[in-house]
Structure 1
């Protein structure tokens, strides 16, 4: 499937029920006229319609792709291991994943939320979770892998070994505004991202927010980077942590300023994600993780997966499992 640039056409609805708006890392809370709802796609939609939607919007949000209980078992397994670090509220179970708010949020933050040179019990548990047999088996789930090959018209997909299984506790720092190509610049071939919520994530629960119809923005940003990087060394050119990027390789954490100057009327699209849902987006779709504001204390858990077609020129740096401080 060829991923193309597309023009902006705002079609999203105004979100109800979030009186303070969604929260971003720098404290911005965007008003309702800057927030919209993602449009879900039923999993039995014809693939041609799904491909057209991807071309037009940069994403497809598939409801109930993976059996719910299969997802919740992974959640339960993850938090049963993290419980040893004191993260769970007394009396709550690992499938619920309720945060022990006597811990400072930064002390319980998952990968991508704090410096990855932090070596403590939580970080060690996160590293071990990436090697867990139950999690690795889940990545091979036929409902997911068969869908990808059919959707992309691939004979066989290749999943990057470096996956990002991460949690977000209420009040912790979240991932800044970015598009995924920033982090996988070395391979010449394009890839497909699958973002998999592992558990239910309400609109105030720290899920992903996508800048509406923004794949063209990401593509233009990347083209401009390549022009500025003409004199860079090969290592600098592929690095997400070069002089053109903000801390952590992201574009910015100033959501209000970015929305005003770059968004050009686009809204940030959010959703009530449920266990079993999967969002697929192209390499240039601009997105961010919002701050978890769950009043119930529910910890967000999700995994980020990147797929290439077998035989394509992929970014081989991503063919090793994540470890703290791997520089990617």
Structure 2
């Protein structure tokens, strides 16, 4: 696409979104998706009336909102994160931590930062991934009044509750990233529904490791979950709420191969014979994507032409007083917490 030939990243409003400019996307494993299987997410301006935003969220399962927070506030968080990780050797020598450029002389596997499985062997690196979740600048992002104010108004809640176990993840170019899933898999304890906010911490083009969504997939996620619960009737409660059970992949994901999963869904019992595209976006610092618990999504393999590390966080919100998953309220993320 046009942005790949630029010497510096273009803002999203200058990028081309025409069908003939669709990006080449793939997941952790498998081949690139063909053009007929890829599309652009719908952008929503922050000035859009709330009723229209709610309508789009209900219809599409996600809401991609531009400029929720000031751009420089988000870049301040990005800079602090990579200053925190700089001693691990993750950054290109002489580069600005605010840019988050990966040192391509390093092995991507060594600098994996996707979560509790397949973490770096270095104890220092793992400790820095853990402590980043309590860094003052990250706390600033979690409590940002623009973000929290938007959620309260959008959901119509008296007060929102952010689960304590947030997920702050980086994804280096050509590294391993988040697989394909729907969020309810990991938050099955508690009856209340929740809202997920995915926040890109910095600019992230469609090929730069951002999130992609399977179009119109909320109904599929719900059907998959109902099917799982039926098969799990003989499970203990602990087995039933565990995302890493015998009916799931070892890391709880539906797949790490978007192309293969698309074929399985199309030819399976949940699709209704409907073909669905994977939707991506050119995210900018300050944007936020909200989605429901059943929307199927995963990370694009980071092939950013400028070598930028994708940094983002997954936040889950409930209404105060709701029957939430208490496992996610015990502590900040730890690699041995079983979640």
- The TM-score range, normalised by the shorter chain, is over 0.9
1:276 lines up with 2:286 in the alignment: yes
Within the candidate set 202, 212, 215, 1:212 is matched to 215
Aligned residue-pair number: 315
Larger CA deviation: 130-139 vs 116-125: 116-125
Q: Deviations for 1:270-327, whole angstroms, at most 9, x for unmatched residues?
A: 0000000000000000000111001211000000000000000000111121012211
Q: Please report the TM-score for the alignment, with normalisation by the length of structure 1.
A: 0.93
* Residue aligning to 1:14: 19
1:182 lines up with 2:182 in the alignment: no
* Residue aligning to 1:55: 58
Q: Deviations for 1:16-52, whole angstroms, at most 9, x for unmatched residues?
A: 153xx21211132101110000000011111111111
Considering only aligned residues, what root-mean-square deviation do their CA atoms show, in Å? Answer: 1.5
* Residue aligning to 1:129: 132
2: CA distance, partners of 1:232 / 1:155: 36
Say if 1:76 and 1:15 are closer, same or farther in 2 by CA, change over 3 A. farther
Alignment check: 8 A CA contact 1:215 1:285 kept: yes
SS in 2 for 1:224: helix
Gaps of 5+ in 2: 1-16, 267-273
Within the candidate set 324, 334, 337, 1:326 is matched to 337
Q: Deviations for 1:107-133, whole angstroms, at most 9, x for unmatched residues?
A: 011133842584532221111100111
Say if 1:309 and 1:288 are closer, same or farther in 2 by CA, change over 3 A. same
1:207-246 alignment to 2 at 5 Å? 207-246=210-249
* Residue aligning to 1:70: 73
1:97-112 alignment to 2 at 5 Å? 97-112=100-115
Alignment check: 8 A CA contact 1:117 1:324 kept: no
2: CA distance, partners of 1:51 / 1:119: 44
1:266 lines up with 2:271 in the alignment: no
Alignment check: 8 A CA contact 2:184 2:294 kept: yes
SS in 2 for 1:308: strand
Say if 1:199 and 1:15 are closer, same or farther in 2 by CA, change over 3 A. farther
Deviation of 1:103 after TM superposition, in Å, equals: 1.1
SS in 2 for 1:323: coil
Gaps of 5+ in 1: 1-11
Alignment check: 8 A CA contact 1:113 1:174 kept: no
Alignment check: 8 A CA contact 1:201 1:300 kept: yes
2: CA distance, partners of 1:216 / 1:119: 41
* Residue aligning to 2:143: 140
Alignment check: 8 A CA contact 2:109 2:120 kept: no
SS in 1 for 2:254: coil
* Residue aligning to 2:311: 301
Alignment check: 8 A CA contact 1:15 1:36 kept: no
2: CA distance, partners of 1:148 / 1:24: 30
Alignment check: 8 A CA contact 2:178 2:298 kept: yes
1: CA distance, partners of 2:334 / 2:300: 24
Within the candidate set 31, 34, 40, 1:31 is matched to 34
Alignment check: 8 A CA contact 2:165 2:333 kept: yes
1:194 lines up with 2:200 in the alignment: no
Q: Please report the TM-score for the alignment, with normalisation by the length of structure 2.
A: 0.90
* Residue aligning to 1:251: 254
Q: Deviations for 1:164-188, whole angstroms, at most 9, x for unmatched residues?
A: 1110000111111100000000011
